[in-house]
Every structure is written in C-alpha cells, then in structure tokens.
C-alpha cells in the first residue's frame, strides 16, 4: 500500500506525528509518546526550534560537552563541543592540558576570502566576451550597491570579479568568479544575493551589446551559487616544544615517541586510505565546535576535504617535523565561519557557547576551531603510536555499552570498577553483566560497597 501523501507540509505538527505513527509503527501510541518526550517543556523555546526547519516533529539531541585548559595565543579558553562520539571531548581536553604546560597553541588567520560563481553558457568568441566583460565589470559593483552597503560599512563586500574560460573542460562554459569579504558573517545569503544580481546584470547587458550576434546575445545562466571550497580563507594552528618535553609516558622515550609520531604523519601524507581516517579524526574536533557555535559543518567538511585533495591526491591535513631539537606539529585548513547571523543569533545554546568563548569574531573562531581539530589529531596520534586507539576509546565507550545492555546503577558501578583493569569489548561487558545477574540482584550494590 502506497504511503505517498499530498499536502503533508500543511498538516499541523500533531497531524504529522499521528500520520507517521499510524503508517509506520506497530505501536503508534508508543511512537507518539517517544517523540513528545523530546519536546521542550518551554513552549516558546520549542516553537523556536520548530521553525528552524520544515516538517518538524520533535528535537534530536546531541550532548554538549566542554573541553577546558586550552591556551591559544596566550589566552585561556574552555571550548564547547556538540558531538555524540565517545572519547572526542576527553581526547581534546587531554591534549589541551598537555600543551598548556608547553606554551599552548598558536593560531594565525592567513586570509578570509570567500568565493562565489555565476556559471553560464556562451556560444561565441571568447575574445569578444572578454572585451565585453571588461567594459561592463564596473556594472556588477554599481548594480549591487544596495546589497553591499551594510557589508561595506563593516569593512567587507565584493573584492573582485573575474571572467574564467572553462571551455577546455566543457563546451561553451564560462564563469564569473567572484571573491568576497564577509567579516563576522559566514556570508552565504549575502554572496548568493550578489551572484543572482550579477546574473541579471550579465543577461541584460548582453542583450544590449552591439558587438554580439543574436546567438551570442542569448547567454544561458546555468546557476549562481557560492562555493564551499575556500582555499583563500585559511587558518594555521600549531604547537611546538623541545623533543625532550614531548612525552609523559615513562615506558617510551621522548625521542622514540617523536620519531614514531612523525612517521605516522608521513604515512597519512602519502597513503589516502590512512589519510581519510587521519583527517576524520581532525574533523571530530572541528565539527563538534562548528555545530556548537551554530555553523554549517557540512560546508566545512566539504571544503576541508577538497583542500586535502588540492595536490591531486587526498592527503593529511596536518604535518610534523623535528628541527634543531624542536618538535612542531601544525596544519593549515580552510574554514568559512560566522559569529553573526543565522543560528548564531537564534539558538540559545549557540549564543551560550559563543559567550563562553568570549564572543569571538569570525577570525577568532576560525583559530579556536582549527586548534580543536589539531588537538584532536594530536591526541589520536599519541594513542595510536603508544597504547593503541582502542584502550582509551573503549573505556569511554563503556557507558554506552552498559546502557545498551540495560544495566542499572549498581551494575554500572561494578562494571566500571572491573574494567579499570580489563579490556573493554561489547562481548566482554555483556558476559560480565550476565554473570552479575546470575547472582541475587539485591546483593549487587551491597557486594560492591563491601
């Protein structure tokens, strides 16, 4: 039986929920109850969340954690992280504490340029098109004054517009390639509005160009849209210290650790299969802060991974070296972020997170986010090259396994104690809980306390 439905968007929230529950669930009332359990009891706050997107039925929560002890350019930060994966926050906090004793992180914004493009088809001579573009280029700036006035007052606006010939890749394909400065705004809506105006100006000017044939006058604009690849919006984050101060594990010498760490980074630089997982670890830290501060993690992910492929092969975003006895670990990544507009002014927890960070500007937030990614990467590589990634990760994952098994509080306490000295795996935890339950459940807590 078809579940296609007309006019769903016009249903009330309750009607949407009832339809879904009745169509897809064997116990509709249980499904409805589950959804309503996640509604905010503050009705005005719930209404705000409902209006963020379309067809909302409930809220889908992510835990919001904090990683303290970050020192960035001499300033102390406690960084908010919205993420569901075990060990991410703990790893970031551990790396932050490690480097706080060694001078902290240094971060520098190299550039903040954003990009947008008008993609169009022109059936004619490129020489004529180029001359025409140079003649009307000023119109693009003049014709968007109403859109750019406020941004210009803040020191931003349209930086430049180029005509690019892409016919070697696709017949008759050209671009208007524009660069923008959007200050503390991520700028997506601003850029897209400017680009659509460019498109209109281009088409109107073409129709009135006497040097064009009738065929050339009918430019076909395919689309006008910003790019989430921002290789001109770059931030660098780094840490450094003498090699002898590098490691705290007495079982491994600092020099041996540094050598193994550098080799691990080199492997990620040359081996794409490793690089993808290596960079995913970086994004564990970056995405968590991007989400917590109301920015678009999907745009950031797309841009960062494109940047990781800029050489023609996907490679590590981070790099390491030892020179004159000094260990240095760094990365440069593209980050288009905003601290005004969008959810940054709407979502109460986003505002909370930004205030906790000291109400940073967009360039300052770029530095904080990049540092979180580098810290995460350092923590992961330190675990991988010493104890192995699973030891720490599975310890953090233990509570998730216990919850999956329906463990009660006394069982959790005993399991945590037991697995302080034993390897954590799903099967090991399940076997342990099964053995506990063979005893009298009423004695579990009593036995633990003795």
- Kindly report the backbone phi and psi dihedral angles of residue 17, in degrees, each rounded to the nearest multiple of 5, phi listed first: -65, -45
Whole-structure pTM value: 0.87
pLDDT at 440: 57
Identify the residue with better confidence: 204 or 438.
Answer: 204
Answer whether residue 188 shows pLDDT above 80: yes
Tell me which DSSP letter residue 340 carries.
B
pLDDT at 445: 47
Share of the chain above pLDDT 90, in %: 81
pLDDT tens across 20-66, in order?
999 999 999 999 999 999 999 999 999 999 999 999 999 999 999 99
pLDDT tens across 269-289, in order?
999 999 999 999 999 999 999
Answer whether residue 360 shows pLDDT above 90: yes
Q: Which of 18, 50, 85, 301 is catalytic?
A: 85
Structure tokens at 70: 């970050």
Burial zone of 41 (CB within 10 Å; 0-12 exposed, 13-18 middle, 19+ buried)? exposed
pLDDT at 133: 98
Contact 345, 237 (CB under 8 A): no
CATH 3.30.70.420 is held by the domain 114-227: yes
- Kindly report the backbone phi and psi dihedral angles of residue 222, in degrees, each rounded to the nearest multiple of 5, phi listed first: -85, -45
Structure tokens at 384: 């991988």
Domain regions of the chain by residue span: 8-50, 65-111+233-387, 114-227, 392-449
**Residue 85 catalytic?**
yes
Structure tokens at 24: 């897809």
Q: Which of 174-183, 264-273, 370-379, 380-389 has the lowest average pLDDT?
A: 380-389
Q: Which of 94, 183, 217, 393 is catalytic?
A: 393
Contact 288, 82 (CB under 8 A): yes
The pLDDT-based confidence of 425 (bands split at 50, 70, 90) is confident
The pLDDT-based confidence of 391 (bands split at 50, 70, 90) is low
Contact 347, 242 (CB under 8 A): no
User: The domain at 65-111+233-387 falls in which architecture?
Assistant: Alpha-Beta Complex (3.90)
Strand ranges inside 286-359, DSSP E? 318-323, 326-334
Contact 72, 93 (CB under 8 A): no
* Three-class HEC string of 29-69: HHHHHHHHHCCCCCHHHHHHHHCCCCCCCCCCCCCEEEEEE
- Mean model confidence pLDDT for the chain: 92
- d(CA 342, CA 337) in angstroms, rounded, equals 11
**Residue 418 catalytic?**
no
Q: Which of 106, 280, 305, 351 is catalytic?
A: 280
pLDDT tens across 192-206, in order?
999 999 999 999 999
Q: Which of 181, 196, 287, 296 is catalytic?
A: 296
**Residue 119 catalytic?**
no
């Amino acid at each position: 039986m078809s579940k296609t439905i007309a006019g769903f968007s016009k249903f009330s929230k309750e009607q949407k929920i009832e339809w879904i529950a009745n169509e897809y669930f064997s116990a509709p009332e249980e499904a409805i109850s589950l959804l309503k359990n996640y509604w905010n009891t503050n009705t005005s706050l719930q209404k705000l969340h409902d209006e963020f997107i379309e067809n909302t039925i409930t809220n889908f929560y992510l835990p919001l954690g904090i990683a303290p002890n970050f020192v960035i350019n001499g300033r102390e930060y406690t960084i908010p992280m919205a993420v569901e994966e075990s060990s991410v926050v703990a790893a970031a906090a551990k790396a932050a504490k490690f480097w706080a004793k060694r001078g902290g992180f240094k971060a520098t914004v190299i550039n903040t340029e954003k990009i947008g493009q008008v993609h169009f088809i022109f059936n004619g001579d490129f020489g004529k098109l180029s001359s025409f573009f140079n003649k009307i280029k000023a119109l693009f700036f003049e014709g968007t004054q109403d859109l750019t006035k406020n941004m210009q007052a803040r020191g931003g606006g349209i930086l430049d517009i180029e005509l690019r010939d892409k016919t070697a890749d696709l017949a008759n394909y050209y671009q208007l390639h524009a660069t923008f400065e959007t200050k503390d705004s991520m700028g997506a809506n601003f850029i897209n509005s400017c680009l659509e105006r460019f498109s209109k100006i281009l088409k109107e000017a073409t129709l009135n160009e006497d040097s064009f044939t009738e065929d050339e006058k009918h430019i076909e604009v395919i689309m006008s849209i910003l790019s989430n690849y921002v290789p001109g919006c770059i931030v660098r984050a780094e840490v450094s210290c003498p090699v002898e101060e590098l490691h705290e594990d007495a079982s491994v010498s600092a020099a041996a650790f540094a050598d193994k760490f550098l080799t691990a980074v080199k492997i990620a630089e040359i081996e794409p299969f490793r690089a993808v997982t290596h960079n995913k670890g970086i994004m564990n830290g970056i995405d968590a802060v991007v989400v917590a501060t109301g920015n678009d993690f999907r745009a950031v992910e797309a841009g960062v991974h494109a940047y990781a492929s800029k050489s023609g092969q996907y490679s590590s975003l981070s790099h390491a070296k030892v020179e004159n006895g000094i260990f240095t670990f760094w990365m440069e990544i593209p980050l288009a972020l905003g601290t005004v507009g969008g959810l940054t002014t709407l979502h109460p927890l986003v505002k909370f997170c930004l205030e906790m960070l000291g109400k940073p500007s967009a360039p300052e937030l770029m530095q904080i986010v990049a540092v979180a990614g580098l810290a995460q990467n350092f923590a992961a590589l330190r675990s991988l090259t010493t104890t192995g990634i699973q030891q720490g990760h599975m310890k953090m994952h233990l509570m998730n396994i216990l919850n999956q098994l329906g463990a009660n509080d006394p069982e959790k306490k005993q399991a945590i104690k037991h697995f302080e000295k034993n390897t954590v795996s799903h099967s090991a935890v399940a076997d342990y809980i099964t053995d506990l339950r063979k005893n009298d459940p009423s004695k579990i807590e009593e036995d633990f306390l003795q």
